Structure 1
Amino acid sequence: MKSEHLLDARTGVDAHFPRNAEGHLLIGGVSAVHLALQFGTPLIAYDEGLIRDTIRAFHRVFQEERVPYQISYASKAFCTMAICQLVHEEGLGIDVVSGGELYTALAAGVPASKLHLHGNNKTPEELEYAIESGIGAVIVDNFDEIDLLAELTAKAGRPVDVLVRVAPGVEAHTHDYISTGQQDSKFGFDLASHQVQEAFARLKGVETVRVIGIHAHIGSQIFDVNGFQLLAERMAAVYEQGLRDFELPFSVLNLGGGFGIQYTDEEAPPVADLLRGVIRAAKAAFAARGMAVPTLWIEPGRSIVGPAGVTLYRVGTRKIIPGVRNYVAIDGGMTDNPRLALYGAKYHATLANRLPDVPHRPWSVAGKCCESGDMLIWDLPLADPEPGDLLAVFATGAYTYAMASHYNRIPKPAVVFCRDGEAKLVVRRETWADVARLDEPLREPGP
């Protein structure tokens, strides 16, 4: 499949995953049935080639628009050593939001200069770690952080580049829990009450901090370019003010990420079109002010890894309530994918070992946790599942493993990367012993 089609979600959520002659789903050329037999279930399998081609398609849009740019992978979507290495190989920087994500990227061999640290409550330990590592940039989120950065950079004797995170008052049309650009938000300096200008003034007085630009992020799972157009206009005005009134050494405008992906068979606009619209909005906003467009940074996460991930589950028990609902239980659930429980996320799924079988009635997919709310998909059209069947849930590459928990002391799943018919284990499956390995007994167990 040519990479120019990889940002076009209109072809169907499972269009990138063909079948073999036996009617089994293929992921990166590997049979889902073979993956489940070799690595067990639940299993999150990524099409590595799809990730790489999607990244290259992002690069191509910027190159066609002829603007200076940097793409940074938002690692909160899925952070392991393997994905950090992959995106670095494809020319991306990496955004991290904790000491753990920073440690993972550094352990993967990614230079600290390619990393950027986000977060509304960075601890002193995290900032010290970032500074000592030689972090590429810190995205400053609040006034307390300015004071802490001034103290820590002076103590370390090492300057740091920063971007000022702006709360621009732009509301994306998405779920409340994943909207971040509105005025009433825990993130960033409020534009409407002039906090941004005060932040500029304070940072200008910190000798060990160099303010290279501004940042904003208006939300996630966005399909409409209008919010980005308004964002670009407001940020261009802020950028001009920082240069003119505060004489800050700006060179970067970071417009965040949040590009939506397709989770079900409902149509969604191509991500390429949205990205192109964002770039052109920035061009227009700066041209209107007689300014050259600065280096544009974006932070895609979900749109890079989300479509490439498929979670494989083994079908267990069933419950049919005549005239009410049919339930099918799987060997995972909200411990490896809490998104339905958190904000009503929807998915498309199929029986990976029985692709030719035609769905003829709805089944609701239940997890194995001791929670009525542990549901994965409501009323999914399926061929009648049998115990032992393999259920494949599409577009689970983002915010699934990253949000996985040990609720009910259930171990986390394994993760594999698949490419050209070969599968590589990149995260080992946890055991029951792994779940309890940090426990300290109240007293030594008796015989």
Structure 2
Amino acid sequence: MSATSEPTTAPPVPADVNALAEKVWPPDAERNDDGSVAFGGVPVADLQHRFGTPLYVLDENAVRARAREVRDAFDIAAERHGTRAKVYYAGKAFLCTETVRWVTAEGLSVDVATGGELAVALAAGAPAERLGLHGNNKSEVELTRAVTSGVGTVVVDSLIEIERLAAIAAGHGVVQDVSVRVNSGVHAETHDFLATAHEDQKFGFALDAAESAVARIRELPSLRFIGLHCHIGSQIFGAAGFAESASRVIGLHARLLEGGEVPTVNLGGGFGIAYTEADDPTPIADLAEEIVSAVARECAARGIAVPVLAFEPGRAIVGRAGVTLYEVGTVKPVTVADDLQRLYVSVDGGMSDNARTALYGAAYSARIVSRRSDVPPALSRVVGKHCEAGDIVVDAEWLPGDVAPGDLLAVPATGAYCFSLASNYNYIPRPPVVAVGGGAARVIVRGETIDDLLARDAGVPAPTEGNA
């Protein structure tokens, strides 16, 4: 992706610029007879009228259905190979109290990465024993909250943390279950910032250092070692990386069995989704079978039982269920080469509500959703309103050549890591999140206002009685 006006490699011209690609958009997204789109049975005009734009729209039924699909895929694969599976929803993808309630109601546990995420999960009423706490630098406050709340598993990341957690647990008379995060050394085929299992990075123990960490945990009466954890990265389409990582982690698992029980191996998440029609992720049932069968083969080769397997999908559950709705403002044609013109289509949001394009070079698609158009498509770049050349929402897309101010534009597959990474850059309030389903819409995260932002500024004069 380029932040300049250099020529872009355009995606193929779509056969129908009004079509909503099934694998990218929420299952309930559909165009009505008037040409406008409805999400969860709610027309986009109604969403704009009630909640404004930019707006995060999340299809509750899609989240729940996908949670069940992922849960069942790993349950079936695990049962086929003589073990059990446990699926955690990776809260960092998108977390609010309602999404916690949705996924736990569908039988999933929840993994959290900070004290703030832990607070959200507990506020939602999630059973503490179904929570896992991650993080490479957990504070004493965070670890204490985990211990005193009864969090099921703390994933330890360093020798310092092991000693700190043991002291906290002992001080509260608790025996805390822990797993050890290891780096398998597998470099996932993804963006460098999304790859997390190569050894030169901040997370976990190298494989050759993990045995001493486990030995230390087994010496501490306030900690109970329950297994290994590994995560190779995010937005991964195939099973090859997971299979290679499983091979290395199961080797360590087998060695650790010589010193005691190792009930669980958690292989993390990172299962990719389609952001554009060109993306082709492996179906989750196939992926689950390939990963679990790889583990089973490694265990059989070593003559050991297949452990309980845990997984942590986040994006794979919530990504496709989310759409971001914008209103088009300025539309500007720009000549970028002798034979190439591009429309710059500015919307009323941008990198403050979707940082992934700027941060990772992520590719998205877009459609005009307030009407249908029969005008030939024009190569377009959807950009935000921020004072930043890299404020690009969709780098290259074919939009109707008559795209105009006031049109509603939607970007699909924004359910993961858009709300989570949102900021107040340029003092822009973060948008609300609305859940849709069955023709109804409701706010599940309130949008910010300028007054909310000013309230944090200690230099703003307090209102007096006369002008309050």
Q: Which residue of 136, 140, 147 maps to 2:156?
A: 140
Instruction: Tell which deviates more after alignment, 20-29 or 102-111.
Output: 20-29
User: Does the CA contact (< 8 Å) of 2:26 and 2:59 recur in 1?
Assistant: no
The separation in 2 between residues aligned to 1:370 and 1:255, in whole angstroms, is: 41
- Alpha-carbon distance, 1:69 to partner: 1.1
- Displacement of 1:36 in angstroms is 1.4
Q: Is the 8 A contact 1:25 1:355 kept in 2?
A: no
The one-letter amino acid of 2:297's match is A
Q: Does 1:256 align with 2:268?
A: yes
Query: Aligned to 1:401, what secondary structure does the other structure show?
Result: coil
After TM superposition, list the pairs within 5 Å mapping 1:276-425 onto structure 2: 276-323=289-336, 324-357=341-374, 359-383=376-400, 384-425=402-443
Are residues 359 and 351 of structure 1, via their aligned partners in 2, closer, same or farther at CA, if it must alter by over 3 Å?
Answer: farther
Q: Distance in 1 between matches of 2:31 and 2:463?
A: 52
- The one-character-per-residue Cα deviations of 1:192-244 (angstroms, maximum 9, x if unpaired) are xx210110111111110000000000000001211111111111111111111
Aligned partners of 2:411 and 2:426: how far apart in 1? 22
* Equivalent in the alignment of 2:24: 13
SS of the aligned residue for 1:239 comes to helix
Cα gap change, 1:241 to 1:415, in 2 (>3 Å): same
Aligned match of 1:220: 234
Aligned-partner SS, 1:138: strand
Query: How do residues 141-290 of structure 1 correspond to structure 2 at under 5 angstroms?
Result: 141-191=157-207, 194-244=208-258, 246-247=259-260, 249-268=261-280, 269-290=282-303
- 1:159 Cα shift? 1.4
Query: What root-mean-square deviation, in Å, do the aligned CA atoms of Structure 1 and Structure 2 show?
Result: 1.7
Cα distance in 2 between the residues matched to 1:216 and 1:55:
21
SS at match of 1:434: helix
Gaps of 5+ in 1: 1-9
Question: Offset of 1:15 from its aligned partner?
Answer: 6.8
Report if aligned partners of 1:337, 1:403 keep a CA contact under 8 Å in 2: yes
- What is the one-letter code of the residue matched to 1:50? A
Matched, 1:41 2:53: yes
2:267–2:311 contact (8 Å) kept in structure 1: yes
The alpha-carbon deviation at position 53 of structure 1 amounts to 1.1
Change (3 A) 1:93 1:12: closer
**Structure-2 separation of matches of 1:359 and 1:272:** 39
Could you say which residue in structure 1 is the equivalent of 2:448? 430
Question: How far off is 1:356 after superposition?
Answer: 4.8
Larger CA deviation: 145-154 vs 257-266: 145-154
The alpha-carbon distance between structure 1 residues 357 and 93, as it changes in their structure 2 partners (threshold 3 A), is farther
The unaligned stretches of length 5 or more in structure 2 are 1-20
Shift of residue 420 of structure 1? 1.4
CA distance in 2, matches of 1:435, 1:343: 27
Cα distance in 2, alignment partners of residues 131 and 118 from structure 1: 13
CA gap of 1:11–1:315, structure 2 versus 1, over 3 A, is closer
| 8 Å contact from structure 2 (residues 152, 177) kept in 1 | yes
Amino acid across the alignment from 2:366? A
8 Å contact from structure 2 (residues 333, 343) kept in 1: yes
Measure how far apart 1:325 and its partner are: 3.0
Contact 1:12 1:267 in 2 (8 A): no
Following superposition, the deviation at residue 64 of structure 1 comes to 2.5
Q: What is the TM-score normalised by the length of structure 2? A: 0.90
One-letter amino acid of the counterpart of residue 274, structure 2: Q
Alignment coverage as a number of residue pairs? 434
Q: Shift of the alpha carbon at 1:443?
A: 7.2
Deviations 1:62-120 (A, max 9, x none): 33221301100000000111101111111110000001000000001111111100000
| Distance in 2 of aligned mates of 1:80 and 1:359 | 41
8 Å Cα contact 1:286-1:292 kept in structure 2: yes
Normalised TM-score (structure 1): 0.94
- The Cα of 1:436 is off from its aligned counterpart by 2.1
Distance 1:11 1:274 in 2: 20
CA distance in 1, matches of 2:72, 2:413: 23
Aligned equivalents of 1:72 and 1:63: distance in 2?
13
**Displacement of 1:59 after TM fit?**
2.2
Are 1:115 and 1:135, in contact at CA under 8 Å, matched by a contact in 2?
yes
| Alpha-carbon distance in 2 for matches of 1:345, 1:273 | 25
> 1:322–1:167: structure 2 CA closer, same or farther, 3 Å change rule?
closer
Looking at structure 2, the residues matched to 226 and 89 of structure 1 have their Cα atoms a distance apart, in angstroms, of 32
> Alignment partner of 2:411: what SS?
strand
Aligned residue among 62, 75, 78 for 2:91: 75
Distance (whole Å) between structure 2 residues aligned to residue 273 and residue 170 of structure 1: 21
What is the percent sequence identity of the aligned residues? Answer: 46
Contact 1:409 1:435 in 2 (8 A): yes
Q: 1:156 to 1:393 in 2, by over 3 A?
A: same
Q: Determine helix, strand or coil for the equivalent of 1:204.
A: helix
Q: Are residues 83 and 203 of structure 1, via their aligned partners in 2, closer, same or farther at CA, if it must alter by over 3 Å?
A: same
| Offset, 1:417 | 1.1
Matches of 2:229 and 2:110, distance apart in 1: 15
Distance, in Å, in 2 between the alignment partners of 1:348 and 1:368 is: 18
